[in-house]
Amino acid sequence: MKDITVNTKLAAIIGTDIGHSKSPAMMNAAFQKLGLDAYYYAMNIKEEDFGTVVKGISKMNFMGLTLTIPYKIQILQYLDEIDPLAEIIGAVNTIKIQDGRMIGYNTDGAGFVRGLEVDCGLTIEDQVYFVVGAGGVSRAIMTVLASKKPKCIYLANRTFSKAEEICTHLNSHFGDICVPLPLDGELKSYIDQSTVLINATNIGMPPYADQAPIDLSLLHPELLVADVIYNPRKTLLLQTAESMGCRIVNGQSLLLHQGKILFNRDLDTIKGNIHKVQAVFNEEYSREDFEKYGILHYDRSQSVHYIIMKGSEKEIREKFAEKSPVVLDLIPLTLEEIFIYEMEGLGYDAGQLG
């Protein structure tokens, strides 16, 4: 475990039963590889202690928090500021802590929609969406989609009044975009019109792994079918959709893009100098060279190679003055680009993230 000092920047995911969360392992591995003095861990907090814990954290060396059920709404009363989109959603899952002030955001919708844009190449406003489920994640995704003014969003839910409430709320902010539907009603004509179908329920994960959120015979090959579930990677819905010729994307896209947003938003204070170095090499580099020169990533696929390494431009050029490569260019990386390289190295399928 990392040595935590008075200077270590802390972050945590808070819930009541989060032993299954992949976030700490993913984030800490990235922190470690980048040499950042930061640590991210999981905290199970009893509901009766939540307020006391959050108030204390705001005065400590925390840079941010991630919140899961049941705290995404409960946190609102403790915030100093809330992002406008999160305010419309009515829930917060990410907090940035700066100078003792807590600023709330919601990355559930933003992460998922960014995945549709980047991983699937969608132009959001050109699509017709069919969303199943009216819980917190659905509300977040619906809000971000509606803010981008797509052609239409159909929202089907078992309890029709919940779908109706969400659509009325979003239409009051973004115009007549959302149409509520009863899940047990006639859905074929609406799905036939849709280009993207999104499962925003827990149907498809244990103990409902053998179930699907809709009648699977309603799928058609022109659909992109997306699922918020990432375990299993292919739910019954996605398996069937893929067999019918649909494009599919699972909830891992949401997880990865949320992480990228977190890196962009919360880690500016601990960002090191990371550069993408474009160079021509006359010899291959060994593992010892990687360690000696602080190389984080090495792309050997082209005659002009790309190295990702830590250090200022001056430091990098001085290091390579004694070696064979001819340095052509040094490009500072954004935190989002850094996150992509780290997740690729950790096996999180981030290569598809662009």
Which sequence positions are flagged as catalytic? Answer: 72
**Residues 122/224, Cβ–Cβ less than 8 Å:** yes
Query: Which residues have C-beta within 8 Å of that of residue 182, sequence separation ≥ 6?
Result: 156, 157, 158, 160, 163
Quote the CA–CA distance of 204 and 66 in Å, as a whole number. 24
Token digits for 210?
Answer: 């053998």
Determine phi and psi for 295, rounding to 5 degrees.
Answer: -80, 125
Token digits for 81?
Answer: 């500021």
Bridge-based pairing of strands 128-132 and 247-249 is unpaired
Token digits for 340?
Answer: 């992509």
Smallest Cα–Cα separation from 341: which of 306, 314, 301?
Answer: 306
**Residues 316/278, Cβ–Cβ less than 8 Å:** no
DSSP 8-class letter at 127: -
**Helices and strands in the chain: count of H runs, count of E runs:** 13, 16
Beta-strand (E) ranges in 106-195? 128-132, 152-157, 178-182
Quote the CA–CA distance of 346 and 324 in Å, as a whole number. 29
Smallest Cα–Cα separation from 43: which of 63, 68, 26, 80?
Answer: 68
Quote the CA–CA distance of 30 and 300 in Å, as a whole number. 22
